[in-house]
Amino acid sequence: MRKLLLFILVLFGILSIQSFAWNAGCGENIPISVCNPNWDGSSGGGGSESYGSVYLNPKTRDYGAVWNYPSGESANADAQSRCGNSCYGSWYSYDYAVITVSDDDRVVGRGMGYTYSQAMKASLKECEKNGGIECAPAIAGRNNSEPIVFLWGGLAYNSNTGDVWKARNHKKRTIVESELKKACGKDCLIFDFQESYGSLAVAPSGQAALGVSDKNLKDSDKEAVKKCKKISNSKDCKVIANLENNL
């Protein structure tokens, strides 16, 4: 019985030491987002030897971004100076850092990760947690190349006249909607998107659906027709307009 008790104590001690050693490697052995999900880039630890930094003004969408810097502090100082006043952001040693903004420009979310999807998910989660409504990505910093800037495009359709209007490459969704409403009028259906391709399909009844894709127009056309058939219960949906955006 004593031998069994002694064996259990020794085994517990070994596992405790291993656990301590593993957790002490936060950011090296495991992603910081796992061992410290609230990390915002203000303290060290990461997955690479180079550093990037990205800052954004949520109202103007002006930004400052740098990459391949030898330290987080130097990257931070340069990105902040390029962005100017009223900017939010941080430095990072991950591969990606995404900043999302609420539709009213009042709430910002930041997320980092070794993959684009991980950083995006974390940023959207923070924006929504902070009370943001209709949060959407504004910029994604990359540790070894230029950032990805997310722009808005839109298609408007007047079912009475059959006219279509387009808007592309705007910094905010609200700008797209304002431009299309001004051109098309009150009776128009407006569809906005951030993907690279958008298509509008219409049924004989006048019901319309938007399809989007980051691959090509063929994929966005296909999705638009599929959605149109679903909402209209018609097999005669046709693509009447498409748009390349964010390119």
146 Cβ neighbours under 8 A, 6+ residues apart? 65, 67
pLDDT at residue 1, as a whole number? 56
**Residue position matching structure tokens 């127009």:** 217
Q: Does 48 score more than 90 pLDDT?
A: no
* Of 39-53, 87-101, 232-246, minimum mean pLDDT range: 39-53
**H or E stretch including 148?**
strand 145-149
**Is 171 exposed, middle or buried, given 0-12, 13-18 or 19+ CB atoms closer than 10 A?**
middle
Q: Measured between alpha carbons, how far is 86 from 108 in angstroms, rounded to an integer?
A: 12
Q: Does 40 score more than 50 pLDDT?
A: no
Query: Taking residues 124-153, what's their average pLDDT?
Result: 96
Which amino acid is located at 148 in the chain? I
pLDDT at residue 185, as a whole number? 84
Tell me whether strands 96-101 and 197-202 are parallel, antiparallel or unpaired: unpaired
205 Cβ neighbours under 8 A, 6+ residues apart? 232, 234
pTM reported for the whole predicted model: 0.77
Q: Measured between alpha carbons, how far is 165 from 181 in angstroms, rounded to an integer?
A: 9
- Assign 3 a pLDDT band (cuts: 50, 70, 90): low
Q: Does 25 score more than 80 pLDDT?
A: no
Contact 167, 153 (CB under 8 A): yes
Percent of the chain with pLDDT over 70: 80
Which amino acid is located at 84 in the chain? G
Q: Measured between alpha carbons, how far is 223 from 211 in angstroms, rounded to an integer?
A: 5
What are the strands of the beta sheet with 197-202, ordered from one edge?
Answer: 208-213, 197-202, 238-244
Q: Measured between alpha carbons, how far is 237 from 240 in angstroms, rounded to an integer?
A: 9
* Average pLDDT over all residues of the chain: 84
Contact 127, 137 (CB under 8 A): no
**Of 246, 50, 233, the residue nearest 138 (C-alpha):** 246
**Of 66, 68, 65, 32, the residue nearest 50 (C-alpha):** 68
Phi-psi region of 161 (alpha: psi -120 to 50; beta: other; left: phi over 0): alpha
